[in-house]
Structure 1
Amino acid sequence: MTNHSTTIKAYMALFTGLIIIGFSAILIKSANAPGIVTAFYRVAIASLVLFLPFLSRWQMVKQLSLKALLMPILGGIAFGVDTGLWSWAIEISNATIPTLMANLAPVWVGLGALFIFKEKQSKGFWIGLAITISGMFTMAARSLYVNDGLIAGISISIVAGIFYGIYHLFTQQGRSLMNTLLYLSISSFAAAATTGIGVLLSPYSFTGYADTTWLIWLGYGIGVHVGGWALINYSQGHLKATTVSPTLLGQPVITAIAAFIILNEALSSWQIIGGLVVIAGIYLVNTTRLKG
């Protein structure tokens, strides 16, 4: 009975977390601030919230091996690069397409496993990869003739998706070595340091933004990063990757609906068709890899 109850809680956490992170791109677009600055305050505010819980677990931290400690640190660095690039892509294009492209992580994980670890991939993986690429070309077709920033947004978010995949690889290892809150705390500190360096290297400032922007950043850092990702990290500790990974592909769908309602951000028929094709391709890549 206890296991059944835990499984139900894990599914509820997964779907609630999914809905919350689906609004990430909306908050980035609504902040009216440089993407890298928004990315920094997301994880910096989350780090402040998580600092006291982290201190209360200091004895657990001291008992961690170097390998265990490296997992959330390296994962946080990858997440910092991912969220910085993704926020930039949203800033210069729209909310939906970069979110979809950033979810190409399973594709890059599969290709990385092939070329780095010499893992053979199934026929389903290659079919899914071909479907995904065709969907990407379909979405970008109109932007070849119209300068709407979409191709630049797609290009940047594809790179972001590679780092998102790296983050998930470290998280899968790290969550097996420590609890949700501890992993989220350490990875958030590392992500804050990474995005902070990004702001320092950029021409933008940490201050001088509107009150509404600060309110959005508070909601983004506390609600999305601490709340949403804590729920998802919790589910990752109790559900199989074959369940969690494909489910997270619902994020761009939620983002598209929210962007249409809140931002009046309409997608062309080609973008909708291409987006659905991409999701189908990623789903096939995801499920065939995880089964293997």
Structure 2
Amino acid sequence: MEKQLTRINPKVLLLMGVFGVSFSSIFIKYSNAPSLVIATYRLGWTVLILFPLIGMKFRGEILKLKKDDILWNILSGFFLAVHFSLWFESLKFTSVASSTVLVSTEVIFSALGFVLVFKGRINRYGILAIIITFLGSIVIAANDYGGGKNVLYGDALALLAAVMVAVYTLIGRKQRDHLSTTVYTFVTYSACFITLIIFDFISYTPIYGYGINEIILGLLLGISCTLLGHSVFSWCLKYLSPSYVSSAKLLEPVFASILAALIYGEIPQISQIIGSIIVIGGVYMYSRYE
């Protein structure tokens, strides 16, 4: 699988991955189950699908994993679980357009993490881009203010989800230097699934009794959004920078907003579109001058 993927241009695969994850918000919006439950179903299906592949072709690499790699992957899975929990919940309160645009600010938080944790430096264009992105987020929040406190709460959850997935991306970049995509994603997704189960237990959220519809939605999310989305992003991190991968994800809110307009009739307001353009422009500017 890894060798077959190397024959494809990473940028082409990245675009395919973005298209895959664009369906996330659409499927989640359709779900009636608690956010933690649909996230648990998604990761449960993902791990189940990957398990036979691991047993047949990657068991040797799994057995040779170092303790540090296992711990880093578990940590990565934890942050991914928190990301899913927050972002899925945000879609219960705010629009697909606002939520997907705000979660796309991940690249900005990745940049801040690069500076604070890895002692990197950001040039003046990068700083300007961060300011522009922040202003765009304010415009979106100001537009959503008229929708009530619940909408702003959804926006805040989407921003926190962006922080969590930024940490996940930074750890992924570190691990993908020496681990195959399949092994890295399997261990990370397994840790994410177990973390979500723990979240369900702590919050007294039943994980069954929601009907076959939710199980199918979890399967669709696992295939189109996790395996054909996040796994592709993880593979691309070996060949492309974290910021480039994150900036490519800016197409997700565009695709998702179009799908939401067609399926749910969620037509963005002018001020919402302006704020989204400012955010996307700021993130693109940062990625360009990285």
**AA paired with 2:65?**
L
Identity rate, percent: 25
Which residues in structure 2 correspond to 1:132-147 (within 5 Å)? 132-147=133-148
Q: Is the 8 A contact 2:21 2:252 kept in 1?
A: yes
* Matched residue type, 1:218: L
How high is the TM-score relative to the length of structure 1? 0.90
Query: In structure 2, do the counterparts of structure 1 residues 45 and 173 end up closer, same or farther at CA, with 3 Å as the change threshold?
Result: same
Q: Is the 8 A contact 2:126 2:285 kept in 1?
A: yes
Aligned to 1:54: 54
Runs of 5+ unmatched residues, structure 1: none
**How far 1:228 sits from its partner (Å)?**
2.4
Q: What's the CA shift for 1:215?
A: 1.4
Cα shift readout 1:46-72 (whole Å, capped 9, x = no counterpart) = 111111222232221222222222332
1:22 paired with 2:22, answer yes
Indicate how the Cα distance of structure 1 residues 217 and 182 shifts in structure 2: closer, same or farther if over 3 A, else same: same
Q: Cα deviations across residues 169-214 of structure 1 (Å, max 9, x unaligned)?
A: 1111111111111111111001101111222222432111132222
Distance 1:112-1:13 versus aligned 2 partners, 3 A rule: closer
Q: Secondary structure at the match of 2:76?
A: helix
Distance (Å, rounded) in 2 between the aligned partners of 1:138 and 1:204:
35
Native 8 Å contact 1:21 1:228 kept in 2: yes
- Describe the shift of the 1:236–1:110 C-alpha distance in structure 2 as closer, same or farther (beyond 3 A): closer
Deviation larger for 73-82 or 244-253:
244-253
Q: Which residue number corresponds to residue 193 of structure 2?
A: 192
Map 1:1-292; keep pairs closer than 5 Å: 6=6, 8-56=8-56, 57-147=58-148, 149-241=150-242, 243-289=244-290
1:277 is aligned with what amino acid? I
Residue 254 of structure 1: how far off its partner (Å): 1.0
TM-score with structure 2 setting the length: 0.91
Partner SS, residue 141 of structure 1: helix
How much does 1:40 deviate?
1.2
Which sits farther off after the overlay, 270-279 or 211-220?
211-220
Shift of the 237–109 alpha-carbon distance from structure 1 to 2, 3 Å rule, reads closer
The more displaced of 74-83 and 216-225 is 216-225
Deviation of 1:264 (Å):
1.2
Q: Deviations over 1:138-193 (max 9, x none)?
A: 11113333317321111111111111000001111111111111111111001101
Rounded Cα–Cα distance in structure 2 between residues aligned with 1:130 and 1:193: 37
Alpha-carbon RMSD across the aligned residues, in angstroms, is 2.1
The one-letter code matched in structure 1 to 2:130 is L
**Secondary structure, counterpart of 2:289 in structure 1:** helix
Distance change >3 Å, CA 58–CA 8, structure 1 → 2: closer
1:6 Cα shift? 4.3
